[in-house]
Amino acid sequence: MNNIYFTPGPTQLYPTVPFHIKKALEEDILSIAHRSKKVCQILESGEVLLKELLNIPRDYRIYFLSSGTECMERVIQNCVEKYSFHFVNGSFSNRFFKTAQELGKRPKRLEVADGLGFMDIMFEIHRLTDLICFTHNETSTGFAVPLDYIYQTHKRYPDKLITIDIVSSAPSVYLDYSQLDCVFFSIQKGFGLPAGLAVMIVSPRAFAKAQSLADHMSIGSYHSFLSMEKYREKNQTPETPNVLGMYLFHQVLVDMKKKTIADIRRETEEKAHMLYSFFESSTNLKPFIENPLYRSNTVIVISTGDQTEPLMDYLKNHGIIVGSGYGKWKEKQIRIANFPSHTKGNVEYLLQLLHSYLPR
C-alpha cells in the first residue's frame, strides 16, 4: 500500500501524475531533443495554460528555472542594484534576505519572531530600494501574509518592484498580478509534481529593470532575464532543461483547468477549515499561528510538544506521512500540507486517525 504524503514538499502526487509519467515514456519525452518542435510546443502551451489558469496578464513573461531557491537568487540579480527590502518571519523569508546578502547587495529587513505578524509595525523603505520581497506563505511556520498588506505596501511605494514567493501557496492563492512584479513557485508543492522545476512570472516593469541594470552591471549569466527571454521568444530555454518536469507540469495544468481553479480554491478552503476546526477544539494539539487571519490554508502547522514523535509514528503506521516541524521546530511541531493533490477523503481519513489518537 502506498502512503499518503501530507508533507509540504515533495508531497502527494497529483492523482493523474502516474498516468502522465507512463504517457511520457510512450511518447519518448525523455529522449527527444530539447530544441525539437514537440518540446517547444510543450513550453509554448504551458505558458498559455498557466496564464489562463492563474489569470496572469498577457504581457507578463513566464520563465522556467530549476527551484524556488534559484528563483530567489535570480530575482535579486535581475531587479536589485544595491538595496532590497524583506519582510522576514521564518526560515524561507530569511533565506531570501540572506541570498541578497550573499550576492553582495545591501538588503534591509523588517524582522519579527517566527510565526508573528509585522502588520502593526511601522517601517520605512530606503528611497534607493529597488525591490520589496514577500514570502506569501512561510512554509516553516504556517504563516500567510494577508494579500491586502502586500497590495497596500505596493500602493505606498508604487515606484518599487514587488516580488512574492508563492512556492507553497500556488496555485490556490488568488493574486492580482497587476500589482506584482516577480512571482515564483516550484512545482513539487502545490502542483503535486516531482521536484526539479520552478516557474517565474515577470512583469514588464521588472523586465525593464533587468535591461537597465544590464547596461552597467552583471545580472547573472544563462538564467538572467535577458538570456531567458532570448530563448523564450523561440519557446526554448538557454540550457537543456527538465523536459519531463515541463511535460508533467503541462499535463497537470490541463487537468487543473478541466477541474477549474475555482473548485480547487474552494476545496482548499474547505479542507483547511476541516483541519483547523479539529485542532482548535483539541486540548493538546494547537495551531502554531494563533491569529486566524494569519493562518495558511495550504501549510497547517501544529504545536505538538512531546507528542510529536509518537503522533507521527502513529500516523505513519496507518499510512499517513505528515511533515515534521521545520529547522528548530523539528521536535515540537508537525506540518500538514493541504494541496490540490490532497482529496477531501484523504483529509477525512487523517482526521479520523487524529480523533482516535490517544496521547501517550
Ligand X SMILES: *Cc1c(COP(=O)(O)O)cnc(C)c1O
- Closest chain position to ligand X (CB): 68
Q: Which residues 6+ apart lie within 8 Å of 214 measured at CB?
A: 224, 226
Cα–Cα distance, 99 to 93 (Å, whole number): 10
Residue 169 CB, nearest distance to ligand X (Å)?
A: 8
Q: In Å, what is the CA distance from 293 to each residue of 88, 145, 148, 339?
A: 18, 9, 12, 19
Phi and psi of 233, rounded to 5°?
-60, -25
139 versus 268: smaller Cβ distance to ligand X: 139
Q: Which is nearer to ligand X, 46 or 142 (CB)?
A: 142
Question: What is the C-alpha to C-alpha distance for residues 152 and 339, in angstroms, rounded to an integer?
Answer: 27
Site for ligand X in 98-157 (CB under 6 A): 135, 137, 139
> Least distance (Å) from ligand X to the CB of residue 189?
6
69 binds ligand X (CB under 6 A): yes
Q: Please, are residues 131 and 79 in contact by the beta-carbon 8 Å criterion? A: yes
- Does residue 186 bind ligand X (CB under 6 A)? yes
Sole binder of ligand X in the list 39, 162, 167, 302 (CB under 6 A): 167
Distance CA 52, CA 80 (A): 29
| Contacting residue, 73, 130, 165, 267, with ligand X by CB under 6 A | 165
* Minimum CB distance to ligand X, residue 299 (Å): 8
Nearer to ligand X, 47 or 138 (CB): 138
Minimum CB distance to ligand X smaller for 166 or for 354: 166
Whether the Cβ atoms of residue 195 and residue 217 lie closer than 8 Å to each other? no
CB atoms closer than 10 angstroms to residue 210: 23
- Binds ligand X (CB under 6 A): choice among 45, 67, 179, 343: 67
Q: Could you tell me how many residues of this chain bind ligand X (CB under 6 A)?
A: 13
Complex with ligand X: residue 78 or 135, whichever CB lies closer: 135
Per-residue contact flags (x/-) with ligand X for residues 77 to 96, judged by CB under 6 A: ---------------x----
Q: How far is the CB of 181 from ligand X (least distance, A)?
A: 17
Q: Among 80, 131, 198, 200, which residue sits at the site for ligand X (rule: CB under 6 A)?
A: 198
- Quick one: 70 or 255, whose CB is closer to ligand X? 70
Residue 227 Cα distances to 77, 169, 223, 233, 234, angstroms: 13, 28, 6, 10, 12
SS3 85: strand
Residues 136 and 168: their CA atoms lie apart, in Å, by 8
Residues within the interface to ligand X (CB under 6 A): 9, 67-69, 92, 135, 137, 139, 165, 167-168, 186, 198
